[in-house]
């Protein structure tokens, strides 16, 4: 079950970034206007990020395996539609449908994993493997995108999803635990779900800045937010229950992930630009440049699950943030001095990869340590923090790096890497607040975490 769920999650995360390197080839083939090119990525991430909490709630109520299988079917069919798309509009529509399928899979797969391991040590190790796959997927997408685009063409980046998706569906139906509808999960808060989805989707579109939204959009989203808060206060079982946001481990882990995901996405984006512009590497060489980083994350993350038992999740979060600061600071220091990959990019990215590998497993452990009937929406919440964090990071930190650029450069790497270091620093400070709290950060494992969340 662990292998199948991780394989599915890997494909979903890879598809967030795999199109980055293929964008020029897609534009040349389909004749997409430059202004609309970003929709190849945004159409996927907006539907993915905005539906995660609702999808997790549906899994709590109607059965998680059922939602995962349905999501994989949608994602696989949409991937085929992407590969066959004759126009940009059809490609964008198929990418949005991919995002719907991914949203159904991701939170429910994580909830299945958390609920499937009753022994805490085994669960922490499983979360370490899950974190390795998730974080490595974000980096490996760059590598796979470059290799596939240069060898088989851009349509190949979508066709590779078909065998993985079909195999995962078959294996889940044969080996996955049957999860049925739960009466104790309560009714679905339809009004809250609709308002939350509209709010998250609108915020994602604003952050992406790829469509001409009217100036009144911000006002409309403000009204939606007010309506959401008002509706949720009247609900006995809101789409995001208050105890999830009041419990410090859950809140801190989500906010820290939002900040670190934004810093990581910005760093990878700027590093990709530096490699292809300042250093003159092609798509394939740029993709291969991220291979060592992927290996580091795959080696470190599974061990982080074991380290939770020795040092506690909050200490690992602090260590991960510290390494993130060190890595981005080193990249900023070498950006204007070193002019090759081995001295100017790899050392800083390696430190960043070690930090990410250490921090993702404890983040998921803290964020999902809730009662079983709420694990779907807790998983949706932490996945939403990751997706929105990456989008917000690129929109703010990436824009800062672009604004600071001069002399025709696309970005100022020193400003961009420096801003990412600042985001990691804030995440580390938040993690420090968990240290020494009995039953939350002070224990060397997550025993008692569910009880502390309920008490909140």
394-451: pLDDT as tens digits: 778 887 888 888 876 778 999 999 999 999 999 999 999 998 654 444 444 443 444 4
Query: HSE on the CB side for 81, CA within 13 Å?
Result: 18
Query: Do residues 178 and 53 touch, judged by C-beta distance below 8 A?
Result: no
Residues of the chain with pLDDT under 50: 438-456
Closest by Cα among 309, 394, 304, 310 to 357: 304
In whole angstroms, what is the distance from residue 244 CA to residue 454 CA?
9
Residue whose tokens read 């990878």: 268
Give the model's pLDDT for residue 95: 94
Closest by Cα among 30, 107, 35 to 67: 107
Domains and CATH numbers, the chain: 2-455 (1.20.1250.20)
Q: What is the CA radius of gyration of the chain?
A: 21
Closest by Cα among 201, 124, 211 to 449: 124
In whole angstroms, what is the distance from residue 203 CA to residue 217 CA?
9
């Amino acid at each position: 079950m662990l292998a199948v769920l991780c394989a599915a999650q890997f494909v979903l995360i890879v598809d967030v970034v795999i199109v980055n390197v293929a964008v020029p080839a897609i534009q040349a083939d389909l004749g997409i206007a430059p202004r609309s090119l970003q929709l190849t990525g945004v159409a996927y991430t907006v539907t993915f990020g905005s539906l995660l909490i609702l999808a997790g709630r549906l899994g709590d109520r109607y059965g998680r395996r059922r939602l995962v299988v349905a999501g994989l079917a949608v994602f696989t069919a949409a991937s085929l539609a992407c590969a066959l798309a004759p126009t940009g509009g059809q490609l964008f529509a198929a990418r949005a449908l991919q995002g719907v399928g991914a949203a159904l899979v991701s939170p429910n797969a994580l909830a299945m994993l958390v609920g499937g391991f009753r022994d805490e040590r085994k669960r922490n190790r499983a979360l370490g493997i899950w974190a390795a796959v998730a974080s490595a997927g974000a980096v490996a997408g760059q590598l796979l995108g470059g290799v596939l685009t240069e060898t088989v063409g851009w349509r190949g980046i979508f066709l590779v999803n078909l065998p993985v998706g079909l195999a995962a569906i078959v294996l889940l139906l044969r080996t996955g635990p049957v999860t049925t509808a739960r009466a104790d999960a309560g009714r679905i808060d339809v009004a809250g779900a609709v308002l939350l989805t509209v709010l998250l989707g609108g915020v994602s579109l604003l952050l992406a800045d790829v469509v001409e939204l009217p100036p009144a959009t911000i006002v409309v989203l403000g009204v939606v937010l007010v309506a959401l808060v008002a509706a949720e206060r009247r609900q006995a079982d809101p789409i995001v229950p208050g105890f999830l946001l009041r419990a410090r481990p859950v809140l801190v882990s989500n906010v820290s992930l939002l900040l670190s995901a934004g810093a990581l996405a910005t760093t990878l984006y700027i590093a990709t630009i530096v490699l292809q512009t300042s250093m003159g590497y092609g798509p394939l060489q740029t993709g291969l440049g991220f291979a060592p980083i992927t290996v580091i994350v795959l080696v470190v993350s599974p061990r982080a699950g074991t380290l939770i038992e020795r040092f506690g999740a909050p200490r690992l979060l602090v260590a991960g943030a510290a390494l993130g600061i060190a890595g981005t600071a080193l990249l900023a220091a070498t950006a204007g001095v070193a002019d090759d990959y081995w001295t100017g990019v790899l050392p800083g990215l390696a430190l960043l990869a070690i930090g990410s590998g250490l921090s993702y497993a404890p983040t998921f452990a803290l964020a999902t340590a809730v009662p079983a009937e709420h694990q779907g929406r807790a998983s949706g919440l932490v996945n939403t923090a990751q997706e929105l964090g990456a989008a917000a990071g690129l929109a703010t930190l990436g824009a800062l790096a672009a604004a600071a650029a001069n002399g025709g450069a696309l970005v100022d790497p020193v400003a961009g890497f420096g801003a990412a270091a600042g985001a990691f620093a804030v995440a580390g400070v938040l993690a420090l607040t968990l240290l020494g709290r009995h039953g939350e950060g002070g224990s060397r494992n997550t025993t008692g975490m569910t009880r502390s969340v309920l008490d909140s």
